[in-house]
C-alpha cells in the first residue's frame, strides 16, 4: 500500500510475511528528540518467561545518576522473496535513554510505536537481565528506546542488554561494532538467523566488527566477513558480549 512502512522481522517460520515490497535501504539515524514521537510503555513480559529469581532489591544499588543516551546499531532483515538468494536487509541506529527514577516505582520501560511485540518483549528482558548483571535496583530506573522504523523479533536483545549495562556503568560502546543475538534470562546470548544478510546491514553502517552468538557453526560467516573486511567475534554470554562491545569488563555498579 502506498505510503505504508515495511515491517522487518527476524522470524523465519511460516505465517511471517513482510508488509510491503522488500527493498534495500541506506542506514537511518534518528535525532534524540522524543517529544516528536509517540512513546508508549513496553508490554510486560509474563513472569513465566523469566526462569531466574531476581535478588532482593535490598541487595542492589540505587544510586542517582544523570540521564544517559546512547546510539545503538541494530540489524534487521525482511522475508526472503521466492527465488531470491538473499533477502532484504537494513542497518538502523536507535536511541537508548537510561535515567534515574526517583520515586522507586520502576522499572519504567518505554518504546515508540515502531517497536513491535517481539522486540518489545526482548527489550524488557534485556533491561531485567542487564540490571541484574550489574546489581542495580530496577525500581529506580526508567529506560526508553526509539527506533526509526518498525522492528520485530528478539535478535536485538543482546545489544539492548549491552546498551543498558553500559549506561549504568558509564562505559562507551565501541563505534566500530554491530551485534545480533538474543538475550536469555540466564545471561546467555543465543542464536539468530540470517547472519550473512545482517552482515550487509553491519557493512552499510560502516562497522568493521560483528558480534554474534557462538551457538551455531559460524565458519561461513567468518569467511564472508573476511571478504568484506568485517571481523566476527563469537560470544556466549552477556559478559563476553559486553567485553567485546565496550572493551571493559561487565561488573557491579559502584
Q: Is the bond into 55 cis (omega within 30 degrees of 0)?
A: no
- Residue 119: inside a domain, yes or no? yes
Which segment of 49-63, 167-181, 235-249 scores lowest on mean pLDDT? 49-63
- Residue 58: inside a domain, yes or no? no
- Residue 60: inside a domain, yes or no? no
- Residue 3: inside a domain, yes or no? no
Q: Which among 55, 243, 58 has a CA at the least distance from the CA of 165?
A: 243
**For 211-234, what is the mean pLDDT?**
91
Q: How many CB atoms lie within 10 A of CB 114?
A: 21
pLDDT band, residue 42 (cuts 50/70/90): low
- Residue 235: inside a domain, yes or no? yes
Residue 79, pLDDT score = 60
Q: How far is CA 43 from CA 119, 148, 163, 183, 199, in A?
A: 10, 19, 20, 17, 30
pLDDT band, residue 38 (cuts 50/70/90): low
- The model's pLDDT over 150-191, given as tens digits with 9 standing for 90+, comes to 999 999 999 999 999 999 999 999 999 999 999 999 999 999
Residue 217, pLDDT score = 81
- Rounded to the nearest integer, the mean pLDDT of the chain is 82
**For 208-227, what is the mean pLDDT?**
91
Residue 43, pLDDT score = 58
**Domain extent for 210:** 67-77+88-246
236, pLDDT greater than 50 = yes
Per DSSP, the residues of 83-103 read T-SS--EEEEEEEEEEEE-TT
3, pLDDT greater than 70 = no
- The model's pLDDT over 125-136, given as tens digits with 9 standing for 90+, comes to 999 999 999 999
- Residue 175: inside a domain, yes or no? yes
C-alpha cell at 152: 520485530
Query: How many domains is the chain built from?
Result: 1
The structure's pTM equals: 0.77
Residue 239, pLDDT score = 99
> Residue 72 sits in a domain of what CATH number?
3.30.230.10
- Residue 145: inside a domain, yes or no? yes
Decide if 72 contacts 148 (C-beta within 8 A): no
- Residue 22: inside a domain, yes or no? no
**β-pair type (68-77, 89-100):** antiparallel
Amino acid at each position: 500500500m502506498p505510503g505504508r512502512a515495511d515491517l522487518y522481522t527476524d522470524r523465519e517460520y511460516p505465517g511471517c510475511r513482510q508488509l510491503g515490497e522488500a527493498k534495500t535501504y541506506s542506514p537511518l539515524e534518528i535525532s534524540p528528540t522524543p517529544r516528536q514521537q509517540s512513546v508508549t510503555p513496553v508490554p510486560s513480559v509474563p513472569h513465566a518467561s523469566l526462569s531466574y529469581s531476581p535478588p532482593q532489591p535490598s541487595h542492589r544499588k540505587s544510586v542517582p545518576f544523570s540521564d544517559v543516551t546512547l546510539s545503538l546499531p541494530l540489524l534487521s532483515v525482511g522475508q526472503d522473496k521466492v527465488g531470491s538468494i538473499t533477502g532484504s536487509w537494513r542497518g538502523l541506529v536507535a536511541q537508548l535513554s537510561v535515567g534515574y527514577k526517583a520515586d522507586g516505582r520502576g522499572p519504567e520501560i518505554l518504546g515508540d510505536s515502531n517497536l513491535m511485540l517481539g522486540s518489545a518483549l526482548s527489550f524488557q528482558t534485556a533491561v531485567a537481565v542487564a540490571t541484574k548483571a550489574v546489581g542495580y535496583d530496577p525500581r529506580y530506573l526508567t529506560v526508553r528506546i526509539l527506533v526509526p522504523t518498525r522492528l520485530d523479533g528478539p535478535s536485538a536483545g543482546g545489544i539492548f542488554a549491552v546498551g543498558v549495562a553500559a549506561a549504568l556503568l558509564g562505559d562507551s560502546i565501541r563505534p566500530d561494532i554491530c551485534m545480533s543475538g538474543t538475550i536469555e534470562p540466564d545471561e546467555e546470548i543465543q542464536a539468530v538467523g540470517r547472519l550473512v544478510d545482517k552482515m550487509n546491514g553491519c557493512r552499510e553502517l560502516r562497522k568493521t566488527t560483528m558480534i554474534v552468538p557462538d551457538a551455531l557453526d559460524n565458519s561461513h560467516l567468518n569467511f564472508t566477513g573476511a571478504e568484506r573486511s568485517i571481523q566476527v567475534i563469537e560470544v556466549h554470554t552477556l559478559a563476553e558480549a559486553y567485553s567485546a562491545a565496550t572493551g571493559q569488563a561487565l561488573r557491579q555498579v559502584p
